[in-house]
Structure 1
Amino acid sequence: MRSYITTTEETALIHRAEHRVAARESCRDLNFKILHIALWSLIAVVILTSAFAPAITFLTFALWGTLTLIANMALKLTTAILFLHRGAMASFKYKNRATDTALPKISIMVPLLKESAIVSHLLTHLRQLDYPKNLLWVILVMERDDITTAKTLAGTKLPPWITAIDVPRGTIKTKPRALNYALDHCKGSIIGVYDAEDAPEPGQLRKVARHFAQGDEKRACVQGTLDFYNARTNWLSRCFSIEYATWFRIILPGLARLRLPVPLGGTTLFFRRHILEELGGWDSHNVTEDADIGIRLTRFGYHTELLPTVTLEEANCRGWPWIRQRSRWLKGYAVTWAVHMRAPKTLLRDMGLWQFFGVQLLFAGTLSQFLLAPLLWTFWLAFLALPHPLTGFMPNWAFYTLGGIYLMSEVINIIVGMLACTQAKHRHLLKWVPSLHFYFPLGSVAAYKGFLELLYKAFYWDKTAHGISLATTPTQPPTKPERQHHVSGG
């Protein structure tokens, strides 16, 4: 039946996958001509003003960078205080241990693209999931022209609760398009997403099911905690692990408690199906479909909560692949911000002032930080007794105030990073936290790469290679009997 429908209605299904989200909320109709004109105009203005008034130009951008830095540090400090005050997640006891008959049917979608080394790893961890298999439906989603993955799966015997579907070619090839296509093949009331390299905690789905069961209908999405199984591979993977520990254990739970929009991760995501379909699924053209859907959930009046159930995945531990991955994320942040700011009054009306401010801080503020960071780095010149472009142009007290703010931000980054690494499994990373000073500049390189791509391939999906560190992959330990669990935001 499925084969018949997908064959006879292929054109309609392709169109549905690519246009599921309403046009006003999608980037597919974003006027990139205007965006290109704006970007080129900005570049021209910067070049001209730098030629005729270099000090004023430098000061203007340095002040904007400092302003966004202050806002970012204030948010980071606030989430850190919440972490210290209430722990990583707010305390919450489940009312009872649900029986298998009370558990809902869950569908998990796993997008695959040119995967060979990672498939056996994936299937091993899917089989370890402690959830009744008659209530679990896993869909391996692959592109129809992906010969590599097709050959790998052809030689693999799948259990009856795992199926593979191929997504026909269309106008684009992105992860959200594949998810939209596979959504109609799902069963049950909860939809989840894993990545190909994931190793979820065995008891994860039971926690997710109980958490949804004990929440109201506004609890639309549950985001699990992501961690890395190859944190010890090299310096880059260690820094990446510190960054993720900070993001998923301090910042995201803090955002959920503050009722700010939560930029979702792309995996270990679980949705109430009817709400996901109400939103129109994922924006198939957006290369950070996860962050975008986080904003749309907030616009529709729903909220996301963080659940302390861990999925291990592979840290991108090579320099250029890391930059490529991060450039896609930052490019997607820029596109997502541009989409939702097409009608700022409507966004403000939908969200309210507080959440509207959150969008500006999380998206425009993050982009500003990475793009303007090189200007802030120059303040190290003053601390090294070297001449600075603003020396003599502004009073010494103002100059050293700016430099002091930058220095204080470095201290806050180190404190929050160390706070995120206080758990036993992350303590080996504590001594590496100060080296983040040399890690984040890679993000600026990625930001400039991403902005250049906006000019000529905004929808290009720069895929991350998987399976580089499989030799270091541990097996998730069995889930221990549960006495108390924790959730955030509720």
Structure 2
Amino acid sequence: MVPQLVETLDRLAWPAACLDIKLICEADDEATLSALAALPLGRQYEIVAVPPGHPRTKPKALSYALGAARGTYLVIYDAEDRVDPLQLEEAWRTFEAGPADIACLQAPLVITNARESWLSALFAFEYAGLFRVLLPRLAAARLPMPLGGTSNHFRTRVLQEVGGWDPYNVTEDADLGMRLYRLGYRCGTIERPTYEEAPTTTSAWLGQRTRWFKGWLQTWLVLMRRPSRLVRDMGLWPCVVFQVLIGGLILSSLAHPLLIAYIGMLSWQLFGQSAHIAGPFEITLIVVDVVNIFGSYAIFVALGRAGMTPGERHASGRRWALTPFYWLLMSLAAWRAVRELRSNPFFWNKTAHRPAQTRLRPEAAAGAG
């Protein structure tokens, strides 16, 4: 990933003399460090080797490098990201024109390999609905936002003031978004995108999603240690939004297969045995459950399609019909996260990436947001 990463950073439309780029690697990651050493890096680059130690997580590495950050603004990119060249300028202009309590701006993450598999297609639906529909609306309403793990632009002073990232939280972005809100800051969004490729295999997708669920569980448990204080700090309505965004996601994912099993059991009683076994109460329950489940599927697909361009919708095709299977996989990841939270809470399951199959021209990237 190193050549692609340096190429996209070199294309940023910002004076090189005003950039302070930290390439953060584990000190024992010899392959990546060797790949970086083989490239002619400009003077704006600095390689930060993070000493091995527990916990071995991305937020721990970020926190290690944060103290050396020299810029007024700071943005995080993952190694696989392909960044719109004008994203830094848009973030800077938005910060300069916005209120001082805006501490973070989230750029949209756009999936570019939706054609490859049904998993990447539904991942594209998910990201389009989240980053281009839901998060902008939360930002406009000045409500708490779970940040993405990349392409979030910060005021460096504020980030240092709130303590940076929690090194023990394996979904550090969601934790930081909620913590910023609790401390009186707000998050916003911008439009210039960052392009990524989604996992295309079940094993890679499950590993990544299990880590995300584990971090969401950690975030919910930490914030809910003192519920009354949380309500005082955030306000009642924002606290309800937090419960829906984080707690609701966890609960619905854990309960999803149980609801399907319950519907199956009632349907068997209603249609497979004598009709009198299932009374009006059971029939009402099955109707309510079916409406809730298929209504949730419909909202998922509608949000995704609303956030996509026509080209993205064409690339994803009709694989939205596989949404029930995607949700069952999410449930499997949620249950695995519950088990892992007890057995290996701070383990960071890395997601393997590859260079993008299609490079985007700068003019194409600028128009896709």
TM-score where L is the length of structure 2:
0.92
Cα distance 1:396–1:285, how it changes in 2: closer, same or farther (>3 A)?
same
State whether residues 421 and 429 of structure 1, in contact with CA within 8 Å, keep that contact through their aligned partners in structure 2: no
Deviation at 1:383?
6.5
Letter in structure 2 aligned against 1:237? S
State whether residues 91 and 153 of structure 2, in contact with CA within 8 Å, keep that contact through their aligned partners in structure 1: yes
Cα distance 1:130–1:171, how it changes in 2: closer, same or farther (>3 A)?
same
Q: For residues 7-61 of structure 1, give each alpha carbon's deviation from its aligned partner in whole angstroms, at most 9, with x where no partner exists.
A: xxxxxxxxxxxxxxxxxxxxxxxxxxxxxxxxxxxxxxxxxxxxxxxxxxxxxxx
State whether residues 229 and 313 of structure 1, in contact with CA within 8 Å, keep that contact through their aligned partners in structure 2: yes
| Corresponding position of 1:156 | 39
Equivalent position SS for 2:193: strand
Cα distance 1:266–1:240, how it changes in 2: closer, same or farther (>3 A)?
same
State whether residues 221 and 304 of structure 1, in contact with CA within 8 Å, keep that contact through their aligned partners in structure 2: yes
Listed as ranges, the gaps of 5+ residues in structure 1 are 1-117
State whether residues 138 and 161 of structure 1, in contact with CA within 8 Å, keep that contact through their aligned partners in structure 2: yes
Deviation at 1:398?
3.7
- Structure 2 counterparts to residues 43-82 of structure 1, below 5 A: none
| Corresponding position of 1:478 | 363
Deviation at 1:386?
5.1
Structure 1 distance, partners of 2:54, 2:296, is 44
| Corresponding position of 2:288 | 401
Equivalent position SS for 1:309: coil
Deviation at 1:375?
1.7
Listed as ranges, the gaps of 5+ residues in structure 2 are none
- Structure 2 counterparts to residues 76-155 of structure 1, below 5 A: 118-155=1-38
State whether residues 84 and 365 of structure 2, in contact with CA within 8 Å, keep that contact through their aligned partners in structure 1: no
Cα distance 1:357–1:124, how it changes in 2: closer, same or farther (>3 A)?
same
Q: For residues 104-146 of structure 1, give each alpha carbon's deviation from its aligned partner in whole angstroms, at most 9, with x where no partner exists.
A: xxxxxxxxxxxxxx00010111111111111111110111111
Q: For residues 424-462 of structure 1, give each alpha carbon's deviation from its aligned partner in whole angstroms, at most 9, with x where no partner exists.
A: 443332522222222121101111111100111111111
Deviation at 1:479?
7.6
Task: Indicate whether 1:464 and 2:351 are aligned.
Answer: yes
Deviation at 1:380?
5.4
Structure 1 distance, partners of 2:272, 2:258, is 14
| Corresponding position of 2:82 | 199
Match for residue 227 of structure 2 among 331, 344, 360: 344
Structure 1 distance, partners of 2:120, 2:311, is 18
Letter in structure 2 aligned against 1:453? E
| Corresponding position of 1:315 | 198
| Corresponding position of 1:71 | none
- Structure 2 counterparts to residues 366-377 of structure 1, below 5 A: 366-377=249-260
State whether residues 229 and 472 of structure 1, in contact with CA within 8 Å, keep that contact through their aligned partners in structure 2: no
Structure 2 distance, partners of 1:143, 1:481, is 33
Match for residue 218 of structure 2 among 319, 323, 335: 335
Question: Between the two proteins, what is the percent identity of the paired residues?
Answer: 38
Cα distance 1:245–1:386, how it changes in 2: closer, same or farther (>3 A)?
farther
- Structure 2 counterparts to residues 85-484 of structure 1, below 5 A: 118-378=1-261, 379=263, 387=272, 392=278, 394-467=281-354, 470=355, 472-478=357-363
Deviation at 1:313?
1.2
Cα distance 1:480–1:282, how it changes in 2: closer, same or farther (>3 A)?
closer
Equivalent position SS for 1:271: strand
Deviation at 1:368?
0.5
TM-score where L is the length of structure 1:
0.70
Q: Which has the larger radius of gyration?
A: 1
State whether residues 86 and 366 of structure 2, in contact with CA within 8 Å, keep that contact through their aligned partners in structure 1: no
Structure 2 distance, partners of 1:386, 1:151, is 65
- Please tell me the root mean square deviation across aligned C-alpha atoms, in Å: 2.2
Letter in structure 2 aligned against 1:431? R
Deviation at 1:417?
3.1
Cα distance 1:271–1:264, how it changes in 2: closer, same or farther (>3 A)?
same
State whether residues 114 and 315 of structure 2, in contact with CA within 8 Å, keep that contact through their aligned partners in structure 1: no
Equivalent position SS for 1:440: helix
Structure 2 distance, partners of 1:198, 1:422, is 20
Tell which deviates more after alignment, 261-270 or 232-241: 232-241
State whether residues 418 and 433 of structure 1, in contact with CA within 8 Å, keep that contact through their aligned partners in structure 2: no
Letter in structure 2 aligned against 1:459? F
Deviation at 1:366?
0.6
Equivalent position SS for 2:203: helix
Q: For residues 64-99 of structure 1, give each alpha carbon's deviation from its aligned partner in whole angstroms, at most 9, with x where no partner exists.
A: xxxxxxxxxxxxxxxxxxxxxxxxxxxxxxxxxxxx
Equivalent position SS for 1:172: coil
